[in-house]
Structure 1
């Protein structure tokens, strides 16, 4: 279990940190520009998503390139499609509920309830992450052998 926890932290923590920065920056900028809690919540949600999934995709592409190169194969558009499919399986169900309902609602209400915008946004992000990671990690573990094997011939 220690090995898996380390693997999950290595996989998710850098993306989480980048996502937190993007979330706070986008939500803060949009709130300052528009004075709209709804717009700020949506901007924070989507900026965090772009940063999070962008970094994970870049990591996955790098790992797949390395695995294929070691076997003497090129990284192709088909391999890139396999990277995208693996991410979709890993995060699909968790992401839909998270991005469309849970995270925006928490990012809208928690700053109001706490009376502090940045603290509310950060707490909302952390609470939403709990409901996000349980199905995401389960899907990741179930898909590792089948969707993340890049050693096969082209």
Structure 2
């Protein structure tokens, strides 16, 4: 597999920036409202996911619409389903372990261990991203030839 670091940074970088902001804000708000590290971990995990995947899906839709328009083809509901399928293949396995186990656990334990909510949440996010991106990037690269061709 070729190392497409520029492509990966262009694809994932803006989504990560949005995700970091959403993660820190939601974790802080969750902790402020409840005083619970569990609430902070879950709020941070899920808000980060919504920001991240919302951006990635919007990016994919925009790129697909542009390519189809250039080919004189409409963007249909069926094409949207194909966009969604490609995302599930790209992120499904990585996201399953990440959102249900790794990220919430790290976001629960690290703030307590470090004695800093924001520092622990940020470190947890960075560590969880490592276990997330290895399978996600492999899946993305493998899916590009078959699942990311939207012109018919």
Partner of 1:105: 105
Partner of 2:36: 36
Structure 1 alignment gaps of length 5 or more: none
Partner of 2:66: 66
CA RMSD, aligned part only?
0.7
Supply the distance in 1 between the matched residues of 2:122 and 2:143 (Cα, whole angstroms).
Answer: 30
TM-score by length of 2: 0.98
Report the 3-state secondary structure (helix = DSSP H, G, I; strand = E; otherwise coil) of the residue aligned with 1:73: coil
Partner of 1:119: 119
Q: CA deviation at 1:150?
A: 1.0
Supply the distance in 1 between the matched residues of 2:40 and 2:14 (Cα, whole angstroms).
Answer: 23
Q: CA deviation at 1:86?
A: 0.3
1:1-40 maps to which residues of 2 (within 5 A)?
Answer: 1=2, 4-40=4-40
Supply the distance in 1 between the matched residues of 2:149 and 2:95 (Cα, whole angstroms).
Answer: 23
Q: CA deviation at 1:13?
A: 0.4
After TM superposition, which residue ranges in structure 1, 4 or more long, deviate above 2 angstroms? none
TM-score by length of 1: 0.97
Structure 2 alignment gaps of length 5 or more: none
Partner of 1:46: 46
